[in-house]
Amino acid sequence: MPSRDTSLNLLTKFIENENLQHHSKMVAKAMEEYAKSLDKSDVEVDKWWTAGLLHDLDWEKYPDEHPKKAVEEILPEAGYPEDVISAIEAHAPDRTGKEPETEIERYLFACDELSGFMNAVSLMRPNGFSDMKVKSVRKKLKDKRFAENVPREDIQKGAKLIGKDLAEHIQFLIDSFKKLF
């Protein structure tokens, strides 16, 4: 599997937008922390991190083909393993028809939209993630006008897919992002 540095270089080759790079790194951190919490091997931790980092690789340059351009062309040609590619394919079932089934697929789906939403919440707070509480995230989830492009049903579905209460999932991500920022 390509190294983390190679993956970061690939990310910046395909994504110039700093906000999208930031989102990708957040999802990578969430995936890495979940993999560690599940006692995955170092190789698996790297795979989970990589799936998180590269899940939106083709979004900026090929939005109409996302994520098919990445999973059918870019990632296979770059030597990424099938389970990483499959997780990226399953993070967008409405576009690919592939529902998240394996553990890495379910966790990537669960971390993607919620990470983006929580980033939006952090930007509204003077201290970002450092003193963020679950209740403030849940309150913003109820406000349909806040980050209105984030599908709330996907956030709920994600928590169910990984067998976690939504509050527990949010708290885990808060703790993960405190390590990142």
137 burial (CB, 10 Å; 0-12 / 13-18 / 19+) is buried
At 21-49, the pLDDT tens digits run 999 999 999 999 999 999 999 999 999 99
How many Cα atoms are found within 13 Å in the side-chain-facing hemisphere of 6? 9
Which residue from 152, 147, 135 is spatially nearest to 23, judged by alpha carbons?
A: 147
- The length of the chain in residues reads 181
At 121-145, the pLDDT tens digits run 999 999 999 999 999 999 999 999 9
| Tokens found for residue 58 | 């083709």
Residue 179: pLDDT band with limits 50, 70, 90: confident
At 76-98, the pLDDT tens digits run 999 999 999 999 999 999 999 99
pLDDT at 180 (0 to 100): 84
Strands in 98-161 per DSSP E = none
Q: State how far the alpha carbon of 114 is from the alpha carbons of 39, 47, 75, 105, 160, in Å.
A: 23, 20, 24, 15, 13
pLDDT at 169 (0 to 100): 98
Residue 117: pLDDT band with limits 50, 70, 90: very high
pLDDT at 49 (0 to 100): 98
Above 80 in pLDDT, residue 181? no
Cα separation, 89 vs 105, in Å, equals 8
